[in-house]
Amino acid sequence: MFAEKISGEELLDLPLKQFEGDIVMVETPKMAKIAVKYLQDFEVIGFDTETRPSFRKGDNHRVALLQLATNDKAFLIRVQKAGLTQEVRDLLINPNILKPGVAIRDDLKALQKIQNFRPGGFIELQERARLIGINDFSLKKLCAIILGFRISKSQQLSNWESDQLTDQQLLYAATDAWASLKIYEKLEQDSH
């Protein structure tokens, strides 16, 4: 049903897509509360995090951005400014709100270093992909194989702790969380 893997050339032939909904920056605990109030009405929300890249061994940074997306809105929570509030943790703990993502184990471990919580409702899309015979596990490749489009990863190594995030960073971050949601929806739709 889906290809096992995809080559770089095949990837470049696909149309480039990105998140087209509203992107909401969350920089205060009050804004985090509003974001969670909105998100808690959804059964499934895309999940991702961004961390400032480290170019030196042993030089690790904390999660800078937590992205949670629906099909229409992406909330980008600036963890260093808003913190991991009780409301946000309650959402991350809630087993009834599914949170699909790619390579989420490390994301969750990094978030737990900031504030400990017991994750609930998370779905590892790499495991789902493996079960249906896909062997390319990056978000970019899963998007291409499962959804038939590619996403830009040009902002991946940018500074997520910068005082002002660029429009390109915002769009990249929103697209990553939204893409996880779209992959999950497509896999669910095809399994019925």
Domain boundaries, the chain: 8-190
Q: What dihedral angle (degrees, nearest 10) is formed by the CA atoms of 22, 71, 62, 118?
A: 140
pTM of the model as a whole:
0.92
Is residue 157's pLDDT more than 70? Answer: no
Question: What confidence tens digit (pLDDT) does each residue in 1-49 have?
Answer: 788 888 888 888 888 899 999 999 999 999 999 999 999 999 999 999 9
Is residue 54's pLDDT more than 80? Answer: no
Q: What's the CATH number of domain 8-190, 3.40.50.720, 3.30.420.10, 3.40.50.620, 3.40.190.10?
A: 3.30.420.10
In terms of Cβ atoms closer than 10 Å to its own Cβ (0-12, 13-18, 19+), residue 72 is: exposed
Q: How many CB atoms lie within 10 A of CB 135?
A: 12
